[in-house]
Structure 1
Amino acid sequence: MKEKKARIKRKSMLKWLIVSFLLVIMIRALFFSNYMVEGHSMNPTLQEGNYLMVNKIIYTFSKPERFDVIVFHQGNGEADYVKRVIGLPGEKVEYKKDMLYINDTFVLEPFIQSDHLRVFGGNFTGDFSLSELTGEETVPEGHLFVIGDNRLSSFDSRHFGFIRIEDIVGKVDVRYWPVEEFGTTFK
């Protein structure tokens, strides 16, 4: 009798374990995605070969914020990129002497290390305005202006223009590989 109860209990636990495992797999597939960084455009924040967990559902409930690190489709879904949000819809974006100005107000970029500015002679990002690059005074509604942290080696909105918010795959939540660089803070 005890043996029969123990067998039933093991079967029940096994069923719960299988159901739980399948539920975790489904939730992960629906709400999160893995992404491997290719290239050097986000150095030093992210390096080539880093593995990231991307939150695919966050922008269903909130809007992208300045300095979010996002993954998005570019070129009819031909390629995915990871970049940092700089300009939001309706904003005027300008760089003067490697300083970011949003709507003519200076905005500090804490993720840009001052060493870069000294090494590259203060021309790390380069001076530009949206109107010079895109012909638009402000970021259009439904779009973002994105740039990689490695300004000298980044193919970004300075080259291909604005990205559509609907092309965002998700927000980078966690770097989980390599393990010694595990973290969640990218600002």
Structure 2
Amino acid sequence: MNEILKDWGSVILRSAIILVVLFFFFWPVKLEGSSMEPTLNDGDIICMSRFFVQMGWYEKGDIVVFQYIEQGKEKVVLKRILATEGDHIRLLADGSVEINGDVLQENYVEGPTNGIVDMTIPKSTVFVMGDNRSTSFDSRNMGVISCDDLTGKVVLRWFPINQMRTY
């Protein structure tokens, strides 16, 4: 009987360790919506790392995950960090984005970058935008995001089975 309990205990312990590793380092999330196209598409599956966010290991250009409450419903949102605390961000009339006086080279952007933004990012917040600027609901609408509200950083992306190409 002791051998059976030891075996079961070992299986349970290993399972718990695997679950903890997945939860903190590689948690899968299915993307819904088009605001991150062409980088990420509706139906793509990404893995996010909670650990990276908890350690503060994110920077401009990273895609992060956060919770946002819209009309009483909590949504999981993915956006790209464009500016962090202390940065000055401006949206220019030609549709480009300027950070601290330098125009960003954003080859991943689709659609025009509309809106009026001219601000310095407050302490412990980030300014986020989707890559598909014409459909993205982001910091242009919802304001800056508290770093405490970030729940993960995208570390891996793969396509769902129905989007994989066969040759």
Query: Where on the TM-score scale, by shorter chain, does this alignment land: which range?
Result: 0.7 to 0.9
Report the Cα distance in structure 1 between the residues aligned to 2:28 and 2:75, rounded to whole angstroms. Answer: 15
Q: RMSD over aligned Cα, in angstroms? A: 2.7
- 2:142 corresponding residue in structure 1: 160
- 1:25 corresponding residue in structure 2: 19
Of 39, 44, 48, 1:50 maps to 44
- List gaps (5 residues or longer) in structure 2: none
| 1:129 correspondence with 2:117 | yes
Deviation at 1:167, TM superposition (A): 0.4
- List gaps (5 residues or longer) in structure 1: 1-7, 131-136, 182-187
Report the Cα distance in structure 2 between the residues aligned to 1:14 and 1:35, rounded to whole angstroms. Answer: 30
Report the Cα distance in structure 2 between the residues aligned to 1:162 and 1:144, rounded to whole angstroms. Answer: 6
Deviation at 1:110, TM superposition (A): 3.1
- 2:98 corresponding residue in structure 1: 101
- 1:59 corresponding residue in structure 2: 53
Aligned residue identity for 2:103 = F
Q: Is the 8 A contact 2:117 2:140 kept in 1?
A: no
Residues 103-155 of structure 1, C-alpha deviation per residue, up to 9 Å, x if partnerless? 1122212323xxx5xxx6xxx1125323xxxxxx3011011110000000011
Report the Cα distance in structure 2 between the residues aligned to 1:89 and 1:77, rounded to whole angstroms. Answer: 28
Report the Cα distance in structure 1 between the residues aligned to 2:115 and 2:137, rounded to whole angstroms. Answer: 16
Aligned residue identity for 1:103 = N
Report the Cα distance in structure 1 between the residues aligned to 2:154 and 2:15, rounded to whole angstroms. Answer: 24
Residues 147-177 of structure 1, C-alpha deviation per residue, up to 9 Å, x if partnerless? 0000000111111111111000110011133
Residues 8-54 of structure 1, C-alpha deviation per residue, up to 9 Å, x if partnerless? 9xxx9997666434421232124442211111000111111111110
- 1:37 corresponding residue in structure 2: 31
- 2:74 corresponding residue in structure 1: 78
Which portions of structure 1, spanning 4 or more consecutive aligned residues, are displaced by more than 4 angstroms?
12-19
When normalised by structure 1's length, the TM-score is: 0.73
Residues 30/99 of structure 1: CA separation in 2 closer, same or farther (3 Å cut): closer
Q: Is the 8 A contact 2:24 2:49 kept in 1?
A: no
Identity %: 28
Structure having the higher helix fraction is 1
Aligned length: 158
